[in-house]
Structure 1
C-alpha cells in the first residue's frame, strides 16, 4: 500500500494537510506575526516619543536663546533712544560701541543720506521702502531690526526718529551678535543652527559636515513673524533630524535648531531598536521544535496509523516495522505488536476452527448426498418402476393413460430430477470423478438453464488436478459467484475462465452487470445477512489462495482466485 506523505515534513508552501502544517499556520505563525507587530509598533511609538522629547528639550533651549536675543535687542533700542535724547547734552557719557559695533549715524530723510557719527558706520543710503517705514514712525518709538546685505556680509540697523526729519540709526554685526547669543546651543554634537529673516540667513553654524548648511525647505517662503514655535521630525540620509524652531519677539527673525537623532540616542537606546531581532532565534527555536515534533511525533504517528489500518485489514507483518519517535510512541507500537500477535493467534485458531467446521459441513454434505442418492433416490426410482408396471397392467386390461397413474408418474419423475439436483448441489459427483473443470462445466450448464443470461466457460492451458480441498474451495467459490451474478447483478453475460500455468492456477468469474462498491473488509455485508463474500474469502484463505474482487458500479464485477502449487 502506498503511504503518501510519510517520511516528509509537511510545509506551508507544499500542501494544507496534517497536524504539523495546521499547528504551524493556525498557532505558531499568527502568534509570531502578532508578537512581531506589537514589538515593532511599540518600538516605533517609543522612538517617536523619544524624538519628540528631544525636540521638546531643544525647543525649550531655543526659546531661552530667542528670549535672550530679544532682551539684548531691546537693550540696543533703549541705548539708541537714550542716545537720541542726550545727544544735545553730552553724548560722550554713553559708551555706544558694545551695543553698535558698526557705529551710529544720523539719517536725513530729505536727502536720503547718512551723516556718520562714528567712523565705523558703513552705509551711505537705504532703499525707499526703509525710508517710508522710518517716516511713518511716531516720535519716541524704535524700529525693529532691519537686515541689510553688504557684499557677502550682513548688517543690522535700528532706527529712532529725531527732530527735523532726522533719524538716529545704530548698526551692528548680526553674525557676531547672534554668535555670542546662541553659543550655548552649539555645545551638543551633530547640531546646526540658523537665524534668518524672510529674505536672508543672518547666522548659520554647524558642528558636523553631514548637516546641510541651508535651513530645512519646509520653513522657506513663510513669514517668520507668523510662524509659531514647533518641532519637526524629518528623515535624512544620516539619520532622522529633530528640528525645533521659534520666532524672536520684536523681530521677523526665526531661530531653527537642528540635531541628528543618532547623536542624541545612546548606545543602549540604539540597542533596544534591535531587540526584536531576539525573536529571530526564538523563531528558529520554534521551527526546530516543530521539526522535532514532526520527526519524532507526527510522522511516527502517521506511520503507526497506516500500520494500524493495514493491521485491521489482516496484514500482521506491517505492524512489525519500527516507526521510531519518542518513547511513548514506541511503547504504543510495542503494545500494538503484542495485540497483533494475540489477534494473529486467535485468528489462526479461528481459521482452524472454520476449516474444521467447513470440512465437517462438507463431510455432512457428502454423507447426506450419498444417503439421498443410495437410499431415497433409489426408492424413488423403484417407485417409478412400479408405476410403469402398473401402466402396463392397465394397458393389458385395455385402459390407456390412466389419469391417476399419469399424474403419479409425473410427480415421481419430477421428484427424481429435484433430488438429483439437490444431490449435485450438496456434493458434485463429477468433482471427485472427473475434476474441477468438468464439475464447473456441469455447474454452468445447470445454472444457465432457465435463466435469461449467457454463461460461458473458457479454459486456458492444460488442465491439472489439484488437491481435493483446493478443488472443492474453487468449486464453492465459483458456485457462490455465479449465484450472485444471477441473483444480484442483472447481467446479460458472464464468463468463467480457468488458467493453468505452472505453478499458478487462476479462476476468474466476470460479468457485465450493475457492479457495486467493494468494501475494504469482506465482512462488511455480514450485518445485513449477506455472507457470500465473507464465505468466499474464508474458503480462499483456508487453502492458501488469494481472492481479489474488483467492481465498478455500472461496469460489472470480476472475482479472481489465484493458487500457487
Structure 2
C-alpha cells in the first residue's frame, strides 16, 4: 500500500452478523452445552433408574426368599411340636409310631428325646452327636429349658461333620426336651433355587455370629461376611437396598431378615452384568448426540484458527507498532477477509505514522543541530570576549593590589580578585558545557572522563568512570549525542537520585558502542511509552529518548525501589 492511500473499513453488516463466529457463540456453543448437559443428565437419570429397577426387583426377590425360608422353618417347628404332642401321650422314638418315623425323616441331623437331667433317652439318627449336644450347645440348651413348654428355640451348629445344622428344640410339659436337627444348606438351597435365575446373582445367608449358612458364589472371593453391604442391617432386623460403586460397576445389594432364626439374607448383583443388549443400547443412545459436539469443536477450531488467533497476533503487532516497530504490522496474520482489511488499514496507518515520525525526527535533528551550533557560537563569544575581559580585569586587580596604600585596600582588592577568579572558573565550565573542547580534540572517552570529574567536583555524589574495549573516534553527531546524553543522565542522578555512588561506563566493541549510567539511589517507575515522560514532567528522560532515536541507538532504562540504570547502544552502522 502506498503512502497517503486511504482504505475504508466497511461497517459491520449482514455478512459479519451472520458469520461463523457469531453463529458459534450464539447458537452452536449454547446448543452444544445444552445438548451435552442433557446427554449427561439423561445418562445419569437412566443409570439411576436402571439401578433402582434392579434394586427393587432384588428386594422383592429377597423378601420372597425370606418369607419362603420362614415358612420352611415354621414347618420344621410345627413338625417338632407335633412330635412333642405324640410323645406326651405315651409314644416313644423306638419305632412304635409311624407318625414319629415320618417326622424323624424330616430331621436329617437327628431327632432326640432327653430327660429332665439332660440325658439322652432315645433318638432317631445321629445318636452319637445327640449324646453330647447339651454340653456342646449349652446356651441353646439353657434357652430351651427356660421358656414355657413347647416354645421352640432355633440355633445353628457349624461344627457338624456333614455341614451346618439347624437345631430346633422345645421343652415338653413333663420337663423332657425334644431336639431335632436338619441341614441348613439343603433347606436354603431348595428355597432360593427358584430366585437365583442368573449366574451373576449371589445369595448369602448369615447367622447372628457372622457364620455362613449358605453362599451361592465362590467362598474364596467372599471375604468377611459381616463386612458385606447389607449384612449388618439385616442382622438388626432391617430390609432394603444398598448400591455400592466397585471396580466392576455398581453393586446392587438387597437384604432382608429371617425373624424366626435371626438370620440375614443378602442378594448382591452387578446391574451391568444382567443388562440386556436393549438395556445397554438405551444407556448409550444419548451418546448418538456426540457428533453435534464434534461439529461444535470443528467450528471452534475454525473460529480459533481463522479469527481468534489472527486477532491475537494482530493485537501483538499493534502493540509493537505503538513502540515504533513499523515492519511487524506489515507481516500477514492470515484469517478471514475482514481481518486482512483491518491489517491493511493498520499498515497504511503505520506508513503514515512512520513518515510523520521520520519528518519529526528530521525536524528534531535539525533543531538539535541548530542548538549545538548556537552553543558553539555562544561558547566562542564567551571565550573570546567575556572570558578574556575577565582575565584582563583580574590582571588589573593584581596590579591594583600591588599599588594599594593600605591593608584595607589590599584586602578588598584581594576579595574582588578571588571573586573574579571564581567567575572565570565558572565561565570556563559553562563554556566547556556549551562546547566540549575535549570531545572535539581527544574524542568521546576523554570527554566523558572529564565530564565525570567535573560532575564529581560540582555535584554531591562521586562519579566513577570506566572505559572498556579499544577506544575510537565516532561520527561527530554520534559523539555529541552520547556526550549530551551522559551529561543529562549525570545531572538527573546528581539532582534527584540521592545516591552514594554514580557509575559512568563506555564500552567499545567492533559492532557497537554502549554508554551506561547507573546509580544506587532512589528509583522510580519507568513508563512503557516514551510520551509518558513529558506528561509526568521527565523532560530529561524524553530528551534521552529523542537523542537515541536520532542516532539510531537503542535506549533502555531500568529502575525500581533502589537504583537506576540507563543504557544506550549504538550499532556500527549508525556510528560510521
Q: Within the alignment, does 1:326 sit opposite 2:336 as a pair?
A: yes
The number of residue pairs the alignment matches comes to 415
Superposition pairs of residues 550-561 of structure 1, within 5 angstroms: 550-554=558-562, 556-561=564-569
Runs of 4 or more consecutive aligned structure 1 residues displaced over 6 Å after TM superposition: 26-30, 45-55, 199-206, 209-217, 265-270
Match of 2:536 in 1: 528
Contact 2:512/2:569 (<8 A) preserved: no
Answer with 1 or 2: which has the greater Rg.
1
Instruction: Tell me the TM-score normalized by structure 1.
Output: 0.55
Contact 1:504/1:562 (<8 A) preserved: yes
Deviations along 1:62-94, one digit per CA (max 9) or x if unpaired, are xxxxxxxxxxxxxxxxxxxxxxxxxxxxxxxxx
3-state secondary structure, aligned to 1:274: helix
Match of 1:34 in 2: 37
Contact 2:481/2:551 (<8 A) preserved: yes
Shift of 1:276: 0.5
Shift of 1:489: 2.5
Distance, in Å, in 2 between the alignment partners of 1:201 and 1:326 is 76
3-state secondary structure, aligned to 1:548: strand
Shift of 1:355: 0.9
Shift of 1:511: 3.0
Superposition pairs of residues 373-392 of structure 1, within 5 angstroms: 373-389=383-399, 391=400
Q: Within the alignment, does 1:357 sit opposite 2:360 as a pair?
A: no
Question: Which stretches in structure 1 are left out of the alignment for 5+ residues?
Answer: 1-21, 56-124, 128-198, 222-231, 242-260
Of residues 299, 308, 327 in structure 2, which corresponds to 1:317?
Answer: 327
Match of 1:335 in 2: 345
Per the alignment, do residues 276 and 420 of structure 1 end up closer, same or farther by CA in structure 2, a change over 3 Å counting? same
Contact 1:523/1:531 (<8 A) preserved: no
3-state secondary structure, aligned to 1:372: helix
Match of 1:286 in 2: 296
Question: Which stretches in structure 2 are left out of the alignment for 5+ residues?
Answer: 1-24, 59-101, 105-186, 206-213, 215-240, 253-270
Distance, in Å, in 1 between the alignment partners of 2:378 and 2:192 is 127
Farther off after superposition, 514-523 or 301-310: 514-523
Superposition pairs of residues 127-138 of structure 1, within 5 angstroms: none
Instruction: Tell me the TM-score normalized by structure 2.
Output: 0.54
Of residues 478, 482, 485 in structure 1, which corresponds to 2:490?
Answer: 482
After superposition, the CA RMSD in angstroms is 5.9
Distance, in Å, in 1 between the alignment partners of 2:304 and 2:188 is 71
Distance, in Å, in 2 between the alignment partners of 1:203 and 1:500 is 104
Shift of 1:515: 4.0
Deviations along 1:441-477, one digit per CA (max 9) or x if unpaired, are 2222211014443323233344322111011001101
Distance, in Å, in 2 between the alignment partners of 1:412 and 1:210 is 122
Of residues 490, 496, 499 in structure 1, which corresponds to 2:507?
Answer: 499
Q: Within the alignment, does 1:513 sit opposite 2:500 as a pair?
A: no
Match of 1:416 in 2: 424
Per the alignment, do residues 407 and 285 of structure 1 end up closer, same or farther by CA in structure 2, a change over 3 Å counting? same
RCO comparison, higher one (Cα < 8 Å, 6+): 2
Deviations along 1:373-413, one digit per CA (max 9) or x if unpaired, are 22332333333344344x15x72656663455344333333
Contact 2:375/2:435 (<8 A) preserved: yes
Of residues 427, 452, 457 in structure 2, which corresponds to 1:449?
Answer: 457
Q: Within the alignment, does 1:435 sit opposite 2:452 as a pair?
A: no
